[in-house]
Amino acid sequence: MHNVLNAKYSDGAASMLFLHLSDIHFRASEVATAQDPNRNLRNEIVRDAKKFCEDLGKTPVGILISGDIAFAGQRSEYEFAKAWLKVLAEACGTNLSSVFVCPGNHDVDRKLAGRYMNQALHQQIKNADPMVLHQLMEGLLRDDQTGRILYEPLDEYNSFAGQFFCDMNAPDRTVVSRNDLRFSDGSQLKIWAVNTAWVSSEADDENQLFIDTAALQIPREAGVENIVMFHHANRWLRNGQTWDDHLRAVARIQLCGHEHLARVEEFKSCVRLRAGALHPERTEPNWQPGYNLFEVDVEEIDGRRVMNVDVHVRVWSPATETFQAQASSDGNVWKNSFGLEAWTPPVTAGRSEETVEDESAENVDQDAATMNGREIGIAFFSLPYSRKLEIAARLNLMDESDINQPDYERFRRVFKRAAERNQMPDLEAAIVLAGGAVARN
């Protein structure tokens, strides 16, 4: 099966541009009201990102959001977020298919997370002996009942994230990845999203949250470099040191949020970007909204492969009501370079380039089928529930196993079946007939 986005970028790019946001905190009581205190701020973000992309002469291949899209995990907050992200994406020359997200603590429905059963499970995890912690978490996530209880507070988040193929569900999709980007030498850039908020509630405190075992299995692969995005800094995680050790070993680029401070942490083997909150609370000390753009490429220098990461940190200036550069010691761009292991593209003798590309697209991930036609997916998930249901039934894409699944999971399976059964043209035609529109870059 041909991977649409892999086809778009398979020839490689001299450098790829990413837009990194975090802690947007769309609050239902404020957004789309006359008294919304952040309306002008959002307008300036769009203006600044648009001009910066134009000045660089590049379009972002990814809009990456490291958590806290909503303020209270409510559906109306995500509806507003999608509408605003569409404006931002189009201003920067792309569309919603470039969005990739991970959850934060504000993406959790606190009412659901505060239920007795959720709190009892949280306490069981928090009180576990470190020697058996991972086995306990694995057991709870693999059990149908407890796994569902632990992830149900993220249902509205998942309905939003499912449109971008990065929704999460226990037990087998607690870590998700995007696999369609390639450097100019043919090597791959893979983006991972990790959930640090699955044990989050009103009781959050430092050293009281967890990543699960799956997050510690992100692999190192020949010809693959990883970007890993997560919400909470390591000090908020009970198993944060183990997580930090793994991150430094497998990911050259790490993106996080939560603490509302713009920071570029430069290490010998990696760089970690802490995004300033796009919508911090105005009562916070040193209130300063911000976001990041960063460019990534791989080049050969004196026979060695090198990854370059140029970071542009943009922070709000209240005096001028504009975004400005947060300078490094060497200027307005934070420059990082990392030596990479030697890698040679696989021999393709006897097979067409298109065949090799298609096989690679099939094998990079067990859910690679869902990557086929990201724009079609956005259009499908944007349809009203009744229209999605009617299309799924008419194209015979429903299965009995879908009945007891939450809506986001049910329609994710429907879309995946369409891709696996080569019914994407039929699905696109049905979307258009139902009044949907498929955006194309």
Looking at residue 98, its pLDDT comes to: 95
User: What band does 331 get if pLDDT is binned at 50, 70 and 90?
Assistant: confident
pLDDT tens, 229-276? 999 999 999 999 999 999 999 999 999 999 988 899 999 999 999 988
pLDDT tens, 401-420? 888 888 999 999 999 999 99
Q: List the one residue out of 410, 419, 417 whose CA is nearest residue 388.
A: 410
In this structure, are residues 23 and 278 in contact, taking their beta carbons and an 8 Å threshold? yes
pLDDT tens, 78-124? 999 999 999 999 999 999 999 999 999 999 999 999 999 999 999 99
Mean pLDDT over 9-38 rounds to: 84
Looking at residue 345, its pLDDT comes to: 87
What percent of the chain has a predicted confidence (pLDDT) above 70?
91
User: What band does 9 get if pLDDT is binned at 50, 70 and 90?
Assistant: very low
Looking at residue 191, its pLDDT comes to: 97
Give yes or no for residue 365 having a pLDDT over 50: no
Q: List the one residue out of 185, 207, 211 whose CA is nearest residue 197.
A: 211
What percent of the chain has a predicted confidence (pLDDT) above 90?
74
Looking at residue 438, its pLDDT comes to: 80
pLDDT tens, 143-178? 999 999 999 999 999 999 999 999 999 999 999 999
Give yes or no for residue 351 having a pLDDT over 60: no
Q: List the one residue out of 21, 11, 126 whose CA is nearest residue 64.
A: 21
- Buried-state track 164-203, b at ≥16 Cβ within 10 A, e below 16: bbbbbbbbebbbbbbbbbbbebbbbbbbbbbbbbbbbbee
d(CA 159, CA 157) in angstroms, rounded, equals 5
| 318, burial (CB in 10 Å: exposed 0-12, middle 13-18, buried 19+) | exposed
Looking at residue 245, its pLDDT comes to: 96
Looking at residue 12, its pLDDT comes to: 54
Mean pLDDT over 33-53 rounds to: 93
Looking at residue 389, its pLDDT comes to: 93
